């Protein structure tokens, strides 16, 4: 693409509606992508040129401009302006758009910051001074540190929101099932990202802690339980009791009656039954906290279905008072979901007047809104519950709760084929143990493995990284086939590779020392294609964070970090620190330190603790 000829930037080429005048203040620096954030002069000049020609305010140009992604064909730093986005709602042919693109480009002038302006298909490309790129990016990374990317104007201009996220939600008195892994790590990622970008987040674990199964477990424990086993291995023992009680129900009607009687006493809040149930709940949470510590996950509140038994009845009374609660011939309470004659409905009450799962969710949603007043309420569950949450949000609207529009369900797909070497997997503990064991075996058989202070802790972190990256590489709603070989590959696009990349970059700092300031770095030493590609990629970090914060998909960040690791490896291969002249060695050390900082930042958002040796 040839550079477009320049002319008076004050002319008019496009017939766009005026949206205001150029704001020459700091406000003109606000863009929704990394590149312009990092450049002072480049931002102001390129933005001012476009703003002046198009008679549009800088704010209205934000989403039309993007950093150019690094590719094998392109090593020069630059930005891209999509012309079609400012042409209004009118349909125009590709040839018309291209003509207007060329006309606009002809009115933009190069200078000491913008070294070249060219056109592509419906876009204008700005090439930026490469030394300015090196200096600006490195200064920003070193200045912002762990807040690089999230401290950009993009996020600082957004209002702070209160966000409540419900995730994980295992069933009390059962070992942590592997099926809850996805909800746990996805919810943790969303919470990490929202907190990092300035929002106030409440992490909620909504436990399955009520229902007829507790009648069976309570009655079973009174007959078959062991206090000693409950203390030594609580969840395993409760699972064993539940299994035996289930068998007894099939063989003996007496056990079924005992279970029903125990649950009746539980619902009546009889002290003895409630006390035993509370013990089951407490020991379950204690065991879950241990598992969450292995995952690096924490919660602000452990809630549960049991909290809303009485409030469910209040919800049913309101539904009835508003004329929304109807009865079927069998006596089941239902709510019609449409006000337009559609006969689809949701059952909200059993024939005996007791509540259902959705009734408890209605009571919980109303209670949370009263207690926390969140701007957004997010539920993270598998996609089989899409219909459930659609019905939940619709009933809330029918009740007059307009805030239901601020409720969001983040669905995810199923994991297929997850098993250990011993066979099918049921419990998450087995998966984490297997990952740790396999990493230890591979580390022991690899000659390049460093001596580690705590091999078990390193293996645990590397194994968890492998599990998280395999899970996050695709769209959340997609099912995927689990594969241990892919999870733990040290080369390729895996979590193990990310950990290796971080450890390798950290080792450079150990050998050559950390750079404390950038002001004396010579940017002329970072003009090789590999250095420019790495810098340009670092430049795009907050654009990626913004994208993930909008659609709550971790795959954007995963792909970015994998690309960052590959670019850093390529740069280190071609630009060694050892043996270079002092100025080049210091500049390269600074570049690799910046890459490690951004890599670590992104890994932590995903829920991965970076290792420094492996």
Q: List residues with catalytic annotation.
A: 174, 177, 180
Q: What angle in degrees, to the nearest 10, is found between the helix axes of 181-196 and 541-551?
A: 120
Please, are residues 501 and 597 in contact by the beta-carbon 8 Å criterion? no
423 Rama class: left (phi>0) / alpha (psi -120 to 50) / beta: left
Residue 490, SS3?
Answer: coil
Greatest distance between any 2 Cα atoms in the chain: 93
CA distance 575 to 595: 14
Specify which residues 125 forms β-bridges with: 80, 118
Contacts of 296 (CB under 8 A, 6+ apart): 188, 464, 607, 608, 609
Rg from Cα positions in the chain: 29
Residue ranges in 172-233 assigned as alpha helix (H):
181-196, 213-224, 227-232
In the 3-class helix/strand/coil scheme, how is 262-303 assigned residue by residue? HHHHHHCCCHHHHHHHHHHHHHHHHHHHHHHHHHCCCCCEEE
Distance CA 161, CA 53 (A): 36
Burial of 536 (0-12, 13-18, 19+ CB in 10 A): buried
Whether the CB-CB separation of 122 and 518 falls below 8 Å is answered with no
Q: 222 with 277: CB under 8 angstroms? A: no
- CA 68-71-76 angle, to 5 degrees, is 60
Pairing assessment for the beta strands 407-412 and 376-382 based on DSSP bridges: parallel
Residue 335: helix, strand or coil by DSSP? Answer: strand
- Please name the residues in contact with 68: beta carbons below 8 A apart, sequence gap of 6 or more: 74, 77, 78, 79, 80, 125, 536
Which residue, among 283, 285, 279, 282, has the nearest Cα to 299 in the 3D structure?
285
- β strands within 434-518, DSSP E: 480-481
Cα torsion 42, 104, 22, 18: sign? negative
């Amino acid at each position: 693409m040839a550079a477009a000829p320049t002319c008076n930037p004050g002319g008019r080429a496009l017939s766009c509606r005026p949206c205001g005048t150029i704001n020459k203040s700091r406000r003109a620096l606000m863009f929704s992508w990394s590149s312009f954030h990092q450049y002072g002069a480049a931002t102001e000049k390129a933005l001012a040129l476009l703003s002046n020609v198009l008679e549009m305010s800088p704010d209205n140009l934000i989403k039309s401009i993007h950093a150019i992604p690094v590719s094998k064909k392109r090593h020069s730093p630059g930005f891209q302006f999509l012309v079609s986005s400012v042409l209004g709602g009118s349909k125009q042919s590709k040839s018309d758009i291209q003509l207007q693109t060329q006309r606009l480009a002809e009115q933009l002038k190069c200078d000491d910051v913008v070294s070249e302006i060219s056109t592509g298909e419906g876009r204008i490309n700005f090439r930026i001074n490469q030394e300015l790129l090196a200096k600006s990016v490195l200064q920003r990374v070193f200045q912002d540190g762990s807040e690089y990317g999230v401290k950009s104007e993009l996020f600082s201009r957004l209002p702070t929101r209160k966000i409540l996220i419900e995730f994980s939600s295992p069933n009390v008195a059962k070992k942590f099932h592997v099926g809850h892994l996805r909800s746990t790590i996805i919810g943790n990622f969303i919470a990490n990202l929202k907190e990092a970008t300035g929002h106030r987040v409440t992490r909620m674990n909504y436990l399955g802690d009520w229902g007829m199964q507790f009648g069976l477990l309570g009655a079973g424990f009174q007959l078959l339980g062991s206090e000693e086993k409950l203390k030594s291995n609580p969840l395993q023992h409760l699972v064993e009791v539940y299994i035996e009680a289930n068998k007894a129900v099939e063989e003996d009607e007496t056990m079924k009656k005992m279970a029903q009687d125990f649950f009746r006493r539980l619902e009546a809040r009889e002290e003895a039954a409630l006390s035993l149930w509370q013990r089951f709940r407490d020991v379950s949470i204690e065991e879950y906290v241990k598992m969450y510590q292995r995952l690096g996950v924490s919660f602000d509140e452990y809630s549960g279905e049991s909290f809303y038994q009485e409030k469910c009845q209040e919800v049913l009374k309101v539904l009835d008072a508003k004329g929304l609660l109807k009865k079927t011939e069998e006596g089941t309470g239902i709510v019609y979901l449409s006000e337009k004659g559609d006969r689809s409905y949701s059952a909200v009450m059993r024939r005996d007047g007791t509540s259902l799962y959705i009734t408890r969710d209605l009571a919980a949603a109303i209670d949370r809104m009263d207690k926390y007043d969140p701007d957004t309420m997010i539920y993270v569950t598998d996609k089989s519950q899409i219909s459930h949450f659609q019905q939940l949000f619709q009933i809330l609207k029918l009740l007059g709760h307009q805030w239901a529009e601020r409720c969001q369900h983040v669905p995810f797909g199923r994991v297929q084929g997850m098993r250990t070497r011993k066979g099918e997997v049921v419990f998450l503990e087995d998966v984490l143990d297997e990952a740790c064991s396999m990493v230890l075996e591979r580390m022991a058989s690899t000659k390049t493995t460093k001596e580690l202070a705590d091999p078990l802790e390193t293996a645990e972190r590397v194994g968890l990284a492998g599990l998280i990256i395999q899970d996050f590489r695709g769209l959340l709603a997609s099912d995927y086939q689990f594969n241990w070989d892919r999870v733990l590959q040290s080369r390729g696009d895996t979590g193990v590779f990310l950990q290796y990349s971080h450890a390798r970059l950290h080792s450079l700092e150990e050998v050559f020392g950390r750079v404390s300031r950038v002001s004396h770095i010579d940017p002329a030493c970072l003009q090789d294609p590999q250095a420019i590609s790495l810098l340009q990629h670092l430049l795009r970090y907050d654009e990626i964070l913004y994208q993930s914060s909008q659609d709550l998909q971790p795959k954007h960040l995963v792909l970015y970090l994998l690309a960052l690791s590959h670019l850093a490896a390529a740069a280190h291969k071609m630009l060694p620190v050892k043996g270079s002249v002092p100025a080049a060695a210091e500049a390269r050390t600074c570049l690799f330190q910046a890459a490690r900082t951004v890599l670590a930042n992104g890994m932590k958002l995903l829920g991965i603790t970076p290792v420094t040796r492996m």
